[in-house]
Amino acid sequence: MSKRLAHMVYFELEDSSAAKIQELMDECKKYLTGHPGQELFAVGTLNPDLARPVNDRAFHVALHTIFADRAAHDAYQTAPRHVEFIERNKANWKTVRVFDSDLEPAV
């Protein structure tokens, strides 16, 4: 049985104005939703109230997706809408950090 795969992406922007943050979130919603095998999509911003020493705050926009399996994730990576999203938005990315993990079923 294939494990679900979590794909989390954290974007730090060159221009981190409220308008550019919203623009990237809108682009995520337009290009990164509804892919085959995608079980969860969420996009959001840094929570300003959570500033504990353990919090990594080096991002402006966070993308959270969960795929049914590795094959769905791999297909997403080369999907035309995903590739277009990258091309349209990468000019404003200062850093992009990607965290992929296999998910264990809940007990």
Residues 29-77: pLDDT tens digits?
999 999 999 999 999 999 999 989 998 899 999 999 999 999 999 999 9
Q: Is residue 43 part of a domain?
A: yes
Q: Is residue 105 part of a domain?
A: no
Structural domain count of the chain: 1
**CATH number of the domain enclosing 16:** 3.30.70.100
Q: Is residue 77 part of a domain?
A: yes
| Torsional class of 49: left (φ above 0), alpha (ψ -120 to 50), beta (otherwise) | alpha
Average pLDDT, the chain: 96
Domain that holds residue 42: 4-47+57-100
24: how many CB neighbours lie within 10 A of its CB? Answer: 23
- 84's enclosing H/E stretch is helix 80-89
Report the predicted TM-score, pTM, of the whole model to 2 decimal places. Answer: 0.94
